[in-house]
Structure 1
Amino acid sequence: MGQTLTEKILANHSGRDSVTPGENVWVNVDVLMTHDVCGPGTIGVFRKHFGPDAKVFDSEKVVIIPDHYIFTADLHAHRNIDILRTFVKEQGLKYFYDPDFVESEGFPSPYKDPTATQYKGVCHVALPEEGHTRPGEILLGTDSHTCTAGAFGEFATGIGNTDAGFVLGTGKTWLRVPETMKFILKGTLPSYLMAKDIILHAIGDIGVDGATYRAMEWDGDGVFSLSIEERMTLCNMAIEAGGKNGIIPADELTENFVRSKTDKPFNVYRSDTDAKYHSIYEYDLQTLEPTVAKPHSPDNRDLAHKLKEVKLNRAYIGSCTGGKIEDFEAAAKILDGKSV
Structure 2
Amino acid sequence: MCRKFLRPAGLLALALALLWGGVPFDAPARASSGPPVDNGQDAYIKNEVNLKLLNAADLDAVAQQFNLQLIEQFGKRPIFRMRVMDGTDAQAKAAALAADTTRVQFAEPNFTSGAPEGSGVSWSVGVSWSVGVSWSVGGEAQYGSQWAQNILRLAEAHKVTKGAGVIVAVLDTGVDRRHPALAGRLLRGHDFVDDDDDPSEEFPPGATTVEEARHLGPYGHGTHVAGLVALAAPEAKIMPLRVLDSQGVGNNWVLLEALRYALDPDGDPSTDDGAHVINMSLASVHKSGILRQIIGEACGDKGIESEDPTPVAPPAHPAVVAVAAGNQSSTLSMYP
Specify if TM > 0.5: no
Greater helix content:
1
| Structure having greater relative contact order (Cα 8 Å, sep ≥ 6) | 2
Give the TM-score normalised by structure 1.
0.26
